[in-house]
Amino acid sequence: MPRLLQRSFCSFLLLASFYWATLSAAEKADRPIVLAVHPYLPYQELQKRYQPLASYLKRVLGTKVVVRIGRDYSEHIAHIGTDRVDIAYLGPATYVRMVDKYGQKPLLARLEVGGKPFFHGYLVTRSGSGVGAIENLREKRFAFGDPASTMSHLVPRHMLLEAGLDVDDLADYQFLGSHKNVALAVLSGAFDAGAVKEEVMESFKSRGLRSFAKSAPYSEHIFVARSDADDEFVVTVKKALFGLAETAEGRGILRSIKQGVTGLVPVEDAHYDNLRSVLKSLSAHGVE
Amino acid sequence: MLLMFILTASTFAILEQQRERLLQIAIDNAKDDIQFIKSTLSSTLQQNNFEQLGGLVETWGRHVRYTHELKITAANGFVLGHFQRDTPADRPHRLEEKIRYSYQGLASLVFVKDFGSVDDSINKLRWQLMSGLLLVGLVFWRMSWLSLHRKREAMMLDRANHRLQQTAEQLEATRAYLRNVFDSMPSTLVAVDAEANVTMWNKGAEKASAMTASEVQGRSFSEALPVFASRMRELKEAIESGKPTRIERHVTRMDGTPRFSEIVIYPLSTDKNRGAVIRIDDVTQRIQMEQMMVQTEKMMTVGGLAAGMAHEINNPLSGVLQSSQNIMRRLSSDLPASTATAKELGLDLAVMHEFLERRGILGFLEGIREAAERAGRIVADMLAFSRRSTTEFSPLSINELLDTVVRIAASDYDLKKTYDFKKITIIREYQSDLPAVPCDRTEIEQVLLNLIKNAAHAMAGQADRTQQQIVLRTRKEVDWVRIEVEDNGPGMSEEVQRRVFEPFFTTKPIGLGTGLGMSVSYYIITEQHKGTISVDSMLGKGSRFVIRLPYR
C-alpha cells in the first residue's frame, strides 16, 4: 500500500535524520537537554506526564533529557526567555507574553487536542442559577482560575470587557487557581459563574455545569526551543514531535501529556495573533 | 465451674459497662474528629480550594476510625466531597456541622460514624476475653481434672500396687510352699530341662550328692549324680517320649556293699517346659526286707516241708527209739521176765552181759538210742521253729523268760556238744519288781536265745575257757524295761558292730548259720515290739547287747 510505504519511508527518513541528529547532538553530550514545563499541575504529576516525552526525545537526540518544572509562570517565562532551557512548553498566553518580553523563539509544535489545534474558553454557571448571558453577570460572583491562565482568566476577562463589563461590575470575583476549582466553586454555589476551559466544562457538565458563553478559538499550547538552538536541533525535534502521532507509542506519549491530545502539529507565531490583541486590550485595561 | 461462671458473668457486665463507656468515648472522639475536619475544611473552603475537598474527604474517610460516611455538601446541595463505605453501618452515629464558606452559604458537613465497630471491638474483646477465660477455665479444669485424675490414678496405682504386692506375696508363699514340699520329700527330687540339665534340686538330692542346689544348677544330670549317670539313656528317652519310666532296682556300690535305688522319671508334658522330674529313693532296706521275706517264705516253705517231713520221720524214729530202749531194758537183769526166761533157758545173764560188752553190742545199742534221740530232738526243734504262729502279745515277766531261755540253751544239744554251754557261768542281775512287758513269748524267747547262743558261739572259739561268763541284767527304766546280755568273749570290731543286725551278715564260717538270726531279732524287737536293740562291744573285752522293750 502506497500510504504504508509512504509512512515507512517517512519513518525511515525520520530514523536516518535521527541518527544524524544524534551524531551532531553527541557533540553536546555532556550537558542534558532541559525540557521546561510551566507549573499548571503539581510537580510530580507534571514529571510523570512529561517523562515519556523526555525519554523519547532522549532516544531521538541521543542526549539525556530532563524535565524541569518551573516555580511559577513568571519564572518559567524568564527561563525560556533567557534561554536557560532548551525546550519549553507554554500555554498560549504565556507564549505571547514571553515573546513580547524576550522576543521570538524557534517554534517547534503546538498541541492538537481532539483533532483541533485550538480551543475555546467557556463561561460557565450551574444549572438553575439564572445566569444566561454575560450581561447577567452584573452583580454576580465570578470565579476566575489563575490570573495568568489563558482560558480561566485572560480570555474570559476580555469577553467581559467586550460585553461592557468589568470586574467592578461583579459582586465579587476571585482567582481560584485552577479550572477544576472554578468549576467546583461555581457548582457549589460559592460563585455564580466562572471561566473554565473546554475540557473542564465538558467533564463537569454531568454534575450540573452549564456554559453560557463561548470564546473565540485560540491556538493551543506550544513547544518552543531556545533562541540559540541550531537549526539541526530544531528540525530534528520538530520532526520528532510531528512523528509522535504516527506510532502507537508516540500516541501514548501524547496522551501522557494530556488526555485527548491527538498530535503535535506545526505552528506559526501568527496563530497567536488574536490572543496577542486580547492581551493588548487587557493590558490597556490594566489587567496583566 | 462456678468460678468460671461468675468470672464470665462479671466480665460480660464489665464489658457492657465498657461498651457504654467506649461508645461515649467514641462519640466524644467523633465530636473531636468532626471539629478537626470542620476546621480544616473550613480553612480549605475559605481559601476557595474546592478542588482539595474531594481528596481530603477521601483521605479522612479512610483513615479516621469508624468513619462510615463523610460528606460535605454545599448550601445548594452540590456535593463537594463524599466518602462512604460500601458496607452498611451497623450502628450509625450522625454528626453534623455547618461550615461557612461563602457569603451565602453554609456547607453542611455530615459525619457518620459507624460505632458498629465499637460493637465489633467490644464483641471482639468479649470474644477474646471469653476465649481467654475459656482457655483459663480449660486450663483450670484440666488441672483439676488432672489432679483428680492423678489422684484417681494414684489411688488406682496404689490398689494395683497393693494387688501386685499381694500377688507377689502369694507367689512367694506358693513358691516357698512348693519349695518346702519339694524339699520335705525324703526322696531325692531332681527337675531337669529338655537337655537333662538340672533346674531344681531338693534337700534330699543335696544330701544324696553332697552338692548344693546352686552348685548343680544348669549342670547335666549325669554330672550332678554320677552314680546314676548310667541311666541317662532312659532319662533322655523318657523326656523325648513323654512316658513315665520306673527303674525298680538300680544297683550302686557303697563301701563294698550294694545299695538299691528306685528311680522314677516323670516327664513334664507342657510345651513350654519340656523336661522331667526324677524321684530317687533308696530302697536298699526295702529290698533287703523283701529279700528277707523271700528268704522267710523260703524258710517257711522249707519249714512247712520240714514239718511234714518231721512228722513222717517221727513215726519210724519213735519206733527205732522205742525198740532200742526195749532192747536195752530187756538185756539188763533188772526185769523179772528177763531173769525168769534166762533161768528157763539155763542162760547165765552175767556171761551174756560180758559177751555183749566184749563184743561192744551194748555200745552199739546205746549209740542207736542216742542217735535216735538226737534225731528226734532235731525234728522237734525243727517243728518248733517252723510252727509260725501269729504274734500274740501277753504281759510277761522278762526275768522268767530269761530263765527259760537259759534252760533251753543248756539242753541244747548243739551247745552241749560243740560249745559246752555248761562251762559258761551265767550271772543273773535281775531287778526284782520288773513290770510285766506285753510281748510275744515265742518271739522274745527266740531273740534272747539267739543272743545267748551267739555269745556262747563267740566264746567257744577262745582258747582259755575258764573265766567265760554271760551276764543277764534286767532293769526298769522310765518307759521301758532294759535287758542286757553281756559276755566277756572276744568282742566285735567297729565294723562288725555296725553290721551286726544286717541281714545275711555273719562272722561264722560258710555253712554255719545263715546270718539271719540278728536281723530277725532286730525286726522282732523294733518292728513287732517297738523297742530298741543295740550292741556295745570292744575287741578283746566282750560284747553287750541291750534290748529295750516298752511296757506301757
Helix/strand/coil for B426: strand
Distance CA A111, CA A260 (A): 10
Higher pLDDT, A17 or B70: B70
- Is there a contact between A181 and B53 if contact means CB atoms under 8 Å apart? no
For residues A54 and A194, membership in a common domain is answered with: no
- Is there a contact between B103 and A181 if contact means CB atoms under 8 Å apart? no
Residue A234 has pLDDT above 60, yes or no: yes
For residues A152 and A252, membership in a common domain is answered with: no
Q: What is the pLDDT along chain B (552 residues), one digit of tens a residue?
A: 677 778 778 877 887 887 788 788 878 888 888 888 888 888 888 888 888 888 888 998 888 877 889 998 888 888 888 999 888 888 788 889 888 876 667 788 888 888 776 677 777 777 787 788 778 878 877 888 778 878 888 888 888 888 888 888 888 888 888 888 888 888 889 888 888 888 888 888 888 888 888 888 888 888 888 888 888 888 888 888 888 889 888 888 777 677 888 899 998 876 676 788 889 888 888 877 777 677 667 656 665 676 677 778 888 888 998 898 888 888 876 788 888 888 888 888 888 888 988 999 888 988 888 888 878 777 776 666 556 556 678 899 999 999 988 888 877 656 556 666 777 889 999 998 899 999 988 889 889 988 998 888 888 877 776 788 999 999 999 889 999 999 988 889 888 888 888 877 777 765 555 556 788 888 889 888 999 999 999 988 899 999 999 987
**Contact status, residue B404 vs residue B411, Cβ threshold 8 Å:** no
- Contact of A217 with chain B, judged by CB distance below 8 Å, is answered with no
**Contact status, residue A90 vs residue A222, Cβ threshold 8 Å:** yes
Nearest CA to CA, how far is B82 from chain A (Å)?
13
CATH number at residue A155: 3.40.190.10
- Contact of A185 with chain B, judged by CB distance below 8 Å, is answered with yes
For residues A111 and A225, membership in a common domain is answered with: yes
The torsion region of residue B530 among left (phi > 0), alpha (psi -120 to 50) and beta comes to: left
For residues A140 and A26, membership in a common domain is answered with: no
Nearest to B51 among A174, A180, A208 (CB): A180
Nearest CA to CA, how far is A177 from chain B (Å)?
8
Confidence of residue A42 (pLDDT cuts 50, 70, 90): confident
Whether A20 is covered by a domain: the verdict is yes
Average pLDDT over residues A6-26: 69
Neighbours of B417 (CB within 10 A): 10
Distance CA A200, CA A187 (A): 12
Contacts of A128 by beta carbon, 8 Å cutoff, 6+ apart: A208
For residues A27 and A97, membership in a common domain is answered with: yes
- Contact of A209 with chain B, judged by CB distance below 8 Å, is answered with no
For residues A47 and A169, membership in a common domain is answered with: no
The range of the structural domain enclosing residue A273 comes to: 2-117+219-280
For residues A201 and A150, membership in a common domain is answered with: yes
Predicted ipTM of the assembly: 0.71
Whether A287 is covered by a domain: the verdict is no
Whether A107 is covered by a domain: the verdict is yes
Q: What is the CATH number of domain B185-282?
A: 3.30.450.20
pLDDT digits (tens, 9 = 90+) for A136-181: 888 889 999 888 778 888 889 999 988 888 888 888 898 988 888 8
Q: How many domains does chain A have?
A: 2
Distance CA A166, CA B303 (A): 187
State residue B15's pLDDT score: 76
Q: Which CATH class is domain B1-184?
A: alpha beta
**Contact status, residue B199 vs residue B207, Cβ threshold 8 Å:** no
Contacts of A143 in chain B (CB under 8 A): 48
**Contact status, residue B57 vs residue B100, Cβ threshold 8 Å:** no
Whether A285 is covered by a domain: the verdict is no
pLDDT digits (tens, 9 = 90+) for A94-148: 899 899 999 999 999 999 998 899 988 899 999 888 888 888 888 889 999 888 7
Higher pLDDT, B392 or A236: A236
State residue A87's pLDDT score: 93
**Contact status, residue A262 vs residue A272, Cβ threshold 8 Å:** no
State residue B328's pLDDT score: 84
Handedness of CA B337, B340, B346, B347 (dihedral sign): positive
- Return the CATH number of B394-550, one of 3.90.1150.10, 3.20.20.105, 3.30.565.10, 3.40.50.300: 3.30.565.10
Closest-approach residue (CA) in chain A for B105: A190
Residue A29 has pLDDT above 70, yes or no: no
Cα distances from B153 to residues A181, B157, B348, B462, in angstroms, run 83, 6, 135, 94
Distance CA A149, CA A176 (A): 11
Nearest CA to CA, how far is A160 from chain B (Å)?
22
Interface test with B, best of A184, A206, A209, A210 (most B CBs within 10 A): A184
State residue B93's pLDDT score: 84
Confidence of residue A5 (pLDDT cuts 50, 70, 90): confident
Nearest CA to CA, how far is A123 from chain B (Å)?
18
